[in-house]
Amino acid sequence: MTRPDAERIAAARSRFAGLHQAGCFVIPNPWDTGSAMMLKHLGFKALATTSSGFSFSKGLPDADWAVPRDMVLDHVAEMVAATDLPVNADFESGYAHDPDGVAENCRLCAATGVAGLSIEDNSGDPSAPLYPFDLAVERIRAAVSALRGTGVLLTARAEAHLLGVPEPQKEAVKRLVAFAEAGADVLYAPGLRTPEQIREVVEAVAPKPVNLLVSAPIGISVADAAALGVRRVSVGSALARAAWGGFLKAARELAGQGSFNAMAGAEPFGALNDFFKAQRPKA
């Protein structure tokens, strides 16, 4: 596992913490080194990994820790090394069920040089998809303790909206408030879609910052999110799926019709090649 130097790590973590102090910023989700480098070039101030985007690139589903922990840690380290931007790791449910295991894995993730990481309360059990409330809170408390003094921001995720539990908004708010009280730095309930839902979460955990996932057109812009009090907007697997969408459109047309028309929308070879040439370290 490649680790950047301590000075670079500290600088990235400081910048990341500063981004959460005021305003609203977008933290897009690259899935490999090249996409990370391009997002930096486009002017984004921080990056976040995507478990889905990385899983699909490895031919694996985004479910039940199908990508093993150590492969994820290597990927996170590679993403940290790709640019000098702060990186937030999508660390799923911490690759352990018990609080001690979550704590140890958070320490390993912090060692990659990340500026932040997220832990969710998805148990992976279809019959009880959320960890029991008390255990979910204890898992977050253990992660907070493991990261104390590192400068790594902990994002606590409540997955109720994604898992189809009864009264998902009520359950998500209850859990996010408890996660905030347990010491989480950022709160996140993927699946919020309406201004009313978003505003309720922001007000419930204030003054702590809220991450909003927007992975499809839901009628909310970055300016709208900022006006609702959101501090950070991520896009999850959306950019990776957009890339897959372009690839599949062209490949299906080629396989089905023998046509190359869909390739007209491809980014020019020269533009990509020149960009990556310019990124190579000087000898």
116: part of which helix (H) or strand (E)?
strand 116-120
CATH of 6-236, one of 3.30.300.30, 3.20.20.60, 3.90.1150.10, 3.30.465.10: 3.20.20.60
Res 213: pLDDT: 98
User: What pLDDT, on a 0 to 100 scale, did the predictor assign at position 154?
Assistant: 99
**Splitting the chain (283 residues) into consecutive groups of 10 residues, what average pLDDT does each group show?**
80 98 98 98 98 97 94 98 97 98 98 98 96 98 98 98 96 98 98 98 98 96 98 98 98 97 96 95 75
Query: Considering the entire predicted model, what is its pTM?
Result: 0.96
- What pLDDT shows up at residue 274? 96
What are the helix (H) ranges across the chain? 6-19, 33-41, 51-57, 69-82, 99-110, 133-147, 160-163, 168-181, 195-205, 222-227, 238-257, 269-279
pLDDT of residue 283: 65
3-state secondary structure of 36: helix
Determine the Cα–Cα distance for residues 60 and 53; give it in Å rounded to an integer. Answer: 10
The pLDDT score that the predictor gives to residue 277 is 95
Residue 255: Cβ-neighbour burial (10 angstroms; 0-12, 13-18, 19+): exposed
CATH 3.20.20.60 in the chain: give the residue spans: 6-236
pLDDT tens per residue across span 202-235: 999 999 999 999 999 999 999 999 999 999 999 9
Q: What is the pLDDT of residue 43?
A: 98
How deeply is 27 buried, as exposed, middle or buried, from its count of CB atoms within 10 A (0-12, 13-18, 19+)? buried
Q: Residue 2: what pLDDT?
A: 54
Place of tokens 């990508």: 67
pLDDT value at position 64?
81
